[in-house]
Amino acid sequence: MALKNTINLNQLTQEELNCVKHIASSHLVMSEKFNLYSNQIQDPQFKQMLTQSATDAKTTATNLINSL
C-alpha cells in the first residue's frame, strides 16, 4: 500500500521533518531493492508482487518528498 497523496507537514518540528526525510529515503531504497529482486525472479506472480511493491514504495517516497 502506498501513500497516494501529499500530506500537510507544516506543523512538524525539525526533528520530525528529519524523520520524514529518513522514511522517504528508506522507501527509495526499498523501491530499488524490490526492482532488483523482481529482475532476478522467474515466477510471474512473485515478480508482479515485487514490481508492485517497488512502485508503491516509490510512490510513497515521492509523495513524502513532495509534502516537504
Residue-wise pLDDT tens digits, 7-17: 787 888 889 88
Per run of 10 residues, the mean pLDDT along the chain (length 68 residues) is 76 88 96 97 96 96 90
What 8-state DSSP symbol labels residue 5? S
For residue 9, tell me if it sits in a domain: no
Q: Give me the domain span that covers residue 53.
A: 14-67
C-alpha angle 64-67-68 in degrees, rounded to nearest 5: 95
As for how many domains the chain has, the answer is 1
For residue 60, tell me if it sits in a domain: yes
pLDDT of residue 34: 98
For residue 6, tell me if it sits in a domain: no
Reported pTM:
0.85
Share of the chain above pLDDT 70, in %: 100
CB neighbour list of residue 65: distance below 8 Å, 6 or more residues apart: 24
pLDDT of residue 10: 81
pLDDT of residue 9: 78
For residue 46, tell me if it sits in a domain: yes
For residue 36, tell me if it sits in a domain: yes
